[in-house]
A and B are shown apart, each in its own frame.
Chain A
C-alpha cells in the first residue's frame, strides 16, 4: 500500500520534471519575457508616482522626465508635518474606520456564510439572491436615503455610521466568498465537534473559523480595501471638520485646492497606498486559495 502510494508520487514528480525540461529554451524565454512585461505594466504606475513623490513640484511636470531630479524626502516631511492639512488625523481616522469595517464586516459575513453553508432554512435562497441584487444597484444613488437613515439612527457624521455603510458594500461579496469557502471544509468536523459537546456557535467559532483562514484573509483584504479607498460616502457622511476626514476625502480636497502640486500629491498618495500594500502583503499567500474555493462553490 505504502509502496504504491510512494511510487505514484515518484511518477508524478517525474511527470512534472519531464514537463519542465520539455519546455524549450525559447519557450522559457518567451514565458519569462511575457511575465516580466506584465509585471512592469502592473507596477509602473505606482513606481512612477513614487519617483514623482521625491521631486519638487516644479520638477514633476517637465518636458523630458528623469528618474531623479532634485529628488529628496521634502514632500514627505511637509505632508507629514501637516502643512497640507491634518494628514496624521486623516490617517488615524482611516485606520480606525477601515479596521472596524474589516472586523465587523468579516465577522457578520462569516456567521451568515456559515449558516448558509451548513444549515437549510427557509429563506436561504432568497437571502443569497438578495446579495446579488444588492451588488447591482448603484450605491451612489442611495446616498440621500442613507443620509436620512443615519440621521434617524443618530449616527450621522460619526465614523460608526460610515462603518455600517461600508459593511453593506463589503458584506454581500464576503458572505458569498465565505460560504464557498466553508463549503470546502468537510462537515464531518462539525459533527465531531457536536459529538464532543460544542454548541453550533462553538463549532463555528472554535473549529471552523481557524480552518477558514485563507477565506477570512481574502475577505478581510476586500473589506479593508473597500473602506480604505472609498471617497463618495466618506465625503457625504463625515462632518466637514478637517480633523474628522478620512485620507481619501482629505486627499480629494487636497487635489482640488492644489492642482499643480504634483510632488506633494504623489507623496501623500504613496503614504496612503502603503497600509493597503502592507495588508495585501500579509494576506497575499492566502489569496489564490481563498478566492478560488469561494468562487468555485459560490
Chain B
C-alpha cells in the first residue's frame, strides 16, 4: 500500500480535484436521478428544505418505464420522438461534418485572406447560443422575417417555418448546422494541417488524381480526428437542448427526447421529475448502446480509442 501510494500519489493528487467535482456533482446526482425513475416524484411530493417539508413520494417500480416505453402521447410518444431525435442527430452531424470538411479543405489551400475567412467562419461558435436562437427566431418569423421576405422576393413559396409542421424541425436543423459547423471545421482543419505534405507529393508523383488523393491520403489522415469529433458531435447533438427549446419552444413537431424531458421537468402543473429522469436514463442508454457499437466498428478498423 505504501509503495502504491509512493508511486502514484502525485498522479492521484493531480486528478483528485476533477474526480471530486465529477463525483459530487455528476455521479451522485446521476445515481439519485436513476433512483427517481423508480418513484413518482414531482414538484408536489419532493422534500423541500426551504419550506421544511419532508418527502412524500413513493417507489413505483418500473411503472415509469412501462408508461414511457408504451409510447403513449401523454408520455411524449417515446418511439416517434426517438425516430425524430435520430433524424435530427444524423442530419445535423452529417451536415456538420460534410460542410465542415468542405470548408476546411478550402481553408487549407493557399487562399488570399485566409485568416479573415477563418475568423468570419468561426464566428457562429463564439456567439452565445441563446443570442443565436434569438437571431434566427427573428429571421424565421413567417411574416416579417428576412428569410421569408427574401424567398418571396425571388418568387419562392414562404413556409411558416416555426409553425405546427415539419418545417419546424427543418428550421432547428438549419440553425444547429449553422451553429455546429465551425467546431467541425476547426477540428478538421487542424487534422488536415497535421497530414504531412510529402504524402501528397508522393501520391502526385504516382499519378494520383485529386479525387484519389482525397480518398486515399486525406480521408485516412483525418480518420482519428474524425472518429473523435463525430462521436462527440453525435452525443452533443442528441442532447442539444437550448437550440430547439429557445427557437421552437414546446412545439411537438420539433420535439426530441431531451427537450421533452425538459418540458416535463419545467412546465405543466406538477413538474414531473420522475418522467423527466426516466427520459434521462433512456437517453443515456441509447447513447451508451450507440457508443459501444461505434467503438466496436472503430476497433474492427484497427483503431484504438
The contact of A149 among B22, B25, B47, B224, by CB within 8 Å, is: B25
The answer for the CA separation of A24 and B136 in the assembled complex, in Å, is 38
Give the residues in chain A near B121, CB-CB below 8 Å: 35, 38-39, 42
Give the residues in chain A near B228, CB-CB below 8 Å: 295-296, 298
A171 in contact with B283 (CB, 8 Å): no
B8 in contact with A121 (CB, 8 Å): yes
The contact of A284 among B122, B187, B287, by CB within 8 Å, is: B122
B225 in contact with A31 (CB, 8 Å): no
Looking at A32, A45, A252, the one whose CB has the most chain B CB atoms below 10 A away is A45
Is A232 in contact with chain B by the CB < 8 A criterion?
yes
Is A146 in contact with chain B by the CB < 8 A criterion?
yes
B21 in contact with A138 (CB, 8 Å): no
Distance of A88 from chain B, by nearest CB (Å): 18
Distance of A241 from chain B, by nearest CB (Å): 15
- Chain A, residues 113-130, CB within 8 Å of chain B (1/0): the string is 011100101100001001
B190 in contact with A295 (CB, 8 Å): yes
B118 in contact with A45 (CB, 8 Å): no
The answer for the CA separation of A284 and B117 in the assembled complex, in Å, is 12
The answer for the CA separation of A165 and B26 in the assembled complex, in Å, is 9
B126 in contact with A136 (CB, 8 Å): no
Check A45/B18 contact, CB under 8 A, given A151-B49, A288-B193: no
A280 in contact with B187 (CB, 8 Å): no
The answer for the CA separation of A272 and B135 in the assembled complex, in Å, is 13
Is B60 in contact with chain A by the CB < 8 A criterion?
no
Give the residues in chain B near A121, CB-CB below 8 Å: 8, 11-12
A175 in contact with B18 (CB, 8 Å): yes
A138 in contact with B187 (CB, 8 Å): no
Is B128 in contact with chain A by the CB < 8 A criterion?
yes
Is B103 in contact with chain A by the CB < 8 A criterion?
yes
The contact of B225 among A63, A164, A290, A296, by CB within 8 Å, is: A296
Give the residues in chain B near A32, CB-CB below 8 Å: 111-112
B8 in contact with A284 (CB, 8 Å): no
Which 3 A-B residue pairings sit nearest by Cβ, starting from the closest?
A292-B190, A229-B128, A141-B280
The contact of B291 among A20, A136, A295, by CB within 8 Å, is: A136
| A19 closest partner in B (C-beta) | B110
Give the residues in chain B near A231, CB-CB below 8 Å: 130, 242, 246
A277 in contact with B126 (CB, 8 Å): yes
Is A143 in contact with chain B by the CB < 8 A criterion?
yes
A132 in contact with B291 (CB, 8 Å): yes
Please report which residues of chain B, range 126-147, place their CB below 8 angstroms from some CB of chain A when the two chains form the complex. 126-132, 134-136, 138-139, 141, 143-144, 146
Is B208 in contact with chain A by the CB < 8 A criterion?
no
Distance of B39 from chain A, by nearest CB (Å): 11
B18 in contact with A109 (CB, 8 Å): yes
The answer for the CA separation of A121 and B189 in the assembled complex, in Å, is 33
Is B194 in contact with chain A by the CB < 8 A criterion?
yes
The contact of A276 among B29, B126, B143, by CB within 8 Å, is: B126
Distance of A174 from chain B, by nearest CB (Å): 9
A291 in contact with B190 (CB, 8 Å): yes
Is B36 in contact with chain A by the CB < 8 A criterion?
yes
Distance of A161 from chain B, by nearest CB (Å): 10
Give the residues in chain A near B36, CB-CB below 8 Å: 144-145
A164 in contact with B265 (CB, 8 Å): no
The contact of A41 among B32, B146, B178, B187, by CB within 8 Å, is: B178
Please report which residues of chain A, range 260-284, place their CB below 8 angstroms from some CB of chain B when the two chains form the complex. 262, 265-266, 269, 272-273, 276-277, 279-281, 284
Is B69 in contact with chain A by the CB < 8 A criterion?
no
Distance of A154 from chain B, by nearest CB (Å): 11
Is A159 in contact with chain B by the CB < 8 A criterion?
no
- Chain B, residues 53-65, CB within 8 Å of chain A (1/0): the string is 0000000000000
A288 in contact with B189 (CB, 8 Å): yes
A136 in contact with B225 (CB, 8 Å): no
Is B218 in contact with chain A by the CB < 8 A criterion?
no
Is A91 in contact with chain B by the CB < 8 A criterion?
no
Distance of B250 from chain A, by nearest CB (Å): 14
A168 in contact with B138 (CB, 8 Å): no
Is B109 in contact with chain A by the CB < 8 A criterion?
yes
Give the residues in chain B near A137, CB-CB below 8 Å: 26, 30, 33, 280, 283-284
Is B97 in contact with chain A by the CB < 8 A criterion?
no
Is B38 in contact with chain A by the CB < 8 A criterion?
no
A225 in contact with B126 (CB, 8 Å): yes
The answer for the CA separation of A284 and B185 in the assembled complex, in Å, is 13
Looking at B47, B127, B261, the one whose CB has the most chain A CB atoms below 10 A away is B127
Is A64 in contact with chain B by the CB < 8 A criterion?
yes
B201 in contact with A15 (CB, 8 Å): yes
Distance of A62 from chain B, by nearest CB (Å): 7
Distance of B223 from chain A, by nearest CB (Å): 10
Distance of A49 from chain B, by nearest CB (Å): 5
A265 in contact with B134 (CB, 8 Å): yes
A149 in contact with B28 (CB, 8 Å): yes
Please report which residues of chain B, range 163-222, place their CB below 8 angstroms from some CB of chain A when the two chains form the complex. 178, 181-183, 186-187, 189-191, 193-194, 197, 201
The answer for the CA separation of A134 and B21 in the assembled complex, in Å, is 12
Is B236 in contact with chain A by the CB < 8 A criterion?
yes
Check A140/B141 contact, CB under 8 A, given A229-B130, A265-B134, A269-B134: no
The contact of B111 among A31, A111, A148, A204, by CB within 8 Å, is: A31
The answer for the CA separation of A166 and B8 in the assembled complex, in Å, is 29
The answer for the CA separation of A31 and B112 in the assembled complex, in Å, is 10
B8 in contact with A287 (CB, 8 Å): no
B191 in contact with A296 (CB, 8 Å): yes
